[in-house]
């Protein structure tokens, strides 16, 4: 294995060339050896304890919440939504049969975005900020799927928002407090939060467009389970190491359960919240995100005893967006493949 810093710089060189003003934080672990670094193409690299919005990486944390709660006996993976959301809100019998597992594997049949997202005047700088609890309630009351689940796996931001909402209802706690009490505090993730506190705010890097123009923060008042979490590479790595079986052992079984491939989704499979790819005959679980002026990647392989997290404060270029390529996904998966046994 090469020097970790050289490896990181080699794989991220094209990204740093393409996004020279992006502040990037990365962490890698292999067989218990940890390497953390801040990088930047031009200018001063960021501090490694910088806070980023996780965007769609939040979905893995929401699925982890589900798996841990299932392990504790608070919910079942096959539990239908009709058991968690009252009939006054979700009255369609087919919709009531959607299970928590189907939400976590994107097989619920829910659309990617709420159909009534445009029902109220939106702020283009914060596209979900206007989507209130009352609009979300209107969607649930009007949702009448034609076919019962499961459906072919198809990415649903809304589905992960519904999952976060259902888990919150079961425990009678809002999403942020539930995440803090069940996952973050017991796992020692002191910098991982749905709401950036005054104490954490000075470390938060603002999101930017691909060209470096600042982007106001995105908020998710009704659908935090889809994108509201913030964290540092150190905290995300602590979460990933717990997934590898190190760290807080009471979580090991629940986090291993998430990694098992459950459904086919095009070129990869899905576990609970995770994508699962076969690389040289070994499972690599991973998730990437591009949302609200940030991009991110996290991945791990139990077979290699390795994990990678890369976070950046710049969104994607039009070229990347048109090609559907999340900028940090390729270097993240390339780094993961370097750690796998030949």
Quote the pLDDT of residue 166.
Answer: 98
pLDDT, tens only, 24-68: 999 999 999 999 999 999 999 999 999 999 999 999 999 999 999
> Distances from the Cα of 143 to the Cαs of 23, 89, 113, 139, 220, in angstroms?
41, 10, 13, 6, 20
Query: What's the pLDDT score for residue 317?
Result: 81
Q: Where are the domains of the chain?
A: 4-78+164-339
Q: How far apart are CA 142 and CA 282, in angstroms?
A: 43
Return d(Cα 45, Cα 63) in angstroms, integer.
32
CA 290 – CA 295 distance, rounded (Å): 4
**Length of the chain measured in residues:** 342
Does 319 have pLDDT greater than 80?
Answer: no
CATH superfamily of 4-78+164-339: DD-peptidase/beta-lactamase superfamily (3.40.710.10)
d(CA 195, CA 132): 17
Neighbour tally for 23: CB within 10 Å: 23
Q: Where are the alpha helices (DSSP H) in the chain?
A: 4-18, 58-72, 93-96, 100-104, 133-142, 157-171, 175-179, 185-187, 224-227, 233-243, 252-259, 318-323, 329-339
pTM above 0.95, yes or no: yes
Instruction: Tell me the pairing of strands 214-215 and 230-231.
Output: unpaired
Are the C-beta atoms of 147 and 109 separated by less than 8 Å?
yes
What's the pLDDT tens digit per position in 82-100?
Answer: 999 999 999 999 999 999 9
3-state DSSP assignment of residue 298: strand
* DSSP helix/strand/coil, 145: coil
Residue pair 326/289 in contact by the 8 Å Cβ criterion: yes
User: Can you tell me the mean pLDDT for 213-230?
Assistant: 97
Measuring CA to CA, which residue among 293, 291, 288 is closest to residue 209? 293
Give the Cα-Cα-Cα angle 149, 172, 113 (nearest 5 degrees).
40
With a pLDDT cut of 90, the percent of the chain lying above it is 90
Q: How confident is the model at residue 171 (pLDDT cuts 50, 70, 90)?
A: very high
Across-strand partners of 264? 269
Among the listed ranges 81-90, 116-125, 149-158, 189-198, which one has the minimum average pLDDT value? 116-125
pLDDT in tens, 248-286: 888 999 999 999 999 999 999 999 999 999 998 899 999
């Amino acid at each position: 294995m090469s020097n970790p810093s050289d490896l990181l710089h080699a794989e991220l060189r094209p990204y740093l060339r393409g996004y020279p003003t992006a502040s990037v934080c990365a962490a890698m672990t292999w067989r218990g050896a940890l390497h953390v670094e801040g990088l930047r193409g031009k200018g001063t690299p960021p501090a490694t304890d910088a806070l980023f919005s996780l965007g769609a990486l939040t979905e893995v944390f929401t699925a982890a919440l589900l798996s841990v709660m299932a392990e504790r006996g608070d919910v079942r993976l096959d539990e239908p939504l009709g058991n968690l959301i009252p009939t006054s809100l979700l009255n369609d019998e087919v919709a009531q049969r959607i299970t928590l597992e189907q939400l976590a594997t994107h097989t619920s049949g829910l659309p990617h975005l709420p159909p009534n997202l445009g029902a109220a005047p939106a702020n283009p700088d914060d596209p979900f900020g206007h989507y209130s609890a009352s609009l979300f309630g209107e969607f649930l009351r009007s949702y009448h799927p034609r076919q019962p689940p499961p459906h072919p796996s198809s990415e649903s931001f809304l589905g992960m928002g519904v999952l976060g909402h259902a888990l919150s209802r079961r425990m009678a706690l809002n999403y942020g407090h539930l995440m803090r009490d069940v996952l973050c505090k017991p796992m020692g993730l002191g910098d991982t939060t749905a709401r950036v506190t005054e104490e954490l705010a000075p470390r938060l890097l603002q999101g930017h467009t691909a060209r470096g123009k600042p982007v106001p923060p995105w908020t998710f008042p009704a659908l935090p389970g889809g994108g509201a979490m913030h964290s540092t590479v150190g905290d995300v790595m602590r979460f990933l190491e717990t997934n590898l079986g190190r760290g807080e052992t009471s979580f090991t079984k629940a986090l291993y359960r998430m990694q098992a491939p459950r459904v086919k989704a095009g070129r990869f499979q899905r576990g609970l919240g995770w994508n699962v790819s076969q690389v040289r005959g070994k499972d690599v679980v991973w998730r990437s995100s591009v949302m609200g002026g940030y991009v991110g990647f996290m991945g791990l392989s139990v077979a290699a005893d390795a994990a990678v997290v890369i976070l950046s404060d710049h969104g994607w270029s039009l070229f990347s967006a048109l090609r559907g390529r999340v900028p940090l996904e390729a270097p993240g998966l390339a780094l993961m493949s370097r750690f796998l046994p030949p």
